[in-house]
Amino acid sequence: MATENTNLSNYDATALPDATLLRFGIVVSEWNSTITEGLLKGAIDALLDCGAEESNIKTIHVPGSFELIFGAKKMQQQLVDAVIAIGSVIKGETQHFDFVCDGVTQGIKDLNVLHEVPVVFCVLTDNNLQQSIDRSGGAHGNKGVEAAITAIKMAHLSHTL
């Protein structure tokens, strides 16, 4: 597993591009809200720690992870420099997990290919609840923090190229 023995919350804010003037959109799934709200907190805390202004962080909620695609597309139109899509899909007994994970992954990829504002994929696709807990503020840190750092880097990349 990719995050085994890795704390996702480790970063050096002094080594990152300045986030002071950057604007961020965050789209959060309401499904598995205990997990997604933990990811959201990690993302916002990291953005603020890296210099982003609270007034430059816009957050919207959507019902589930599949709806992140539409929410992210709408957020791209809000004059932001990067979008973070936050969701959590936990494997169940049916193929629903596979369809949702594939659809969200492809949809976010399409937004990155078709539009100029980068969308960062922060959708946990775990086999069980404990894995999600471990990656949303637990034993492996917080994937939301990692997504925020990625958003800063991608926004900077977008402005410099």
**Domain-wise residue ranges, the chain:** 27-160
Handedness of CA 39, 142, 11, 160 (dihedral sign): negative
Q: Tokens 């953005």 sit at which residue?
A: 47
Identity of the amino acid at 67: E
Q: Is 96 a catalytic residue?
A: yes
- Helix 96-114 to helix 68-76 angle (10° resolution) is 10
Whole-prediction pTM value? 0.93
Look up the CATH architecture of domain 27-160: 3-Layer(aba) Sandwich (3.40)
Each residue's pLDDT expressed in tens, for the chain with a length of 161 residues = 355 555 657 888 888 899 999 999 999 999 999 999 999 999 999 999 999 999 999 999 999 999 999 999 999 999 999 999 999 999 988 888 888 988 999 999 999 999 999 999 999 999 999 999 999 988 888 999 999 999 999 999 998 88
pLDDT of residue 5: 57
pLDDT of residue 2: 54
Q: Determine which one of 61, 96, 115, 159 is catalytic.
A: 96
Question: What is the Cα–Cα distance from 144 to 123, expressed in whole angstroms?
Answer: 9
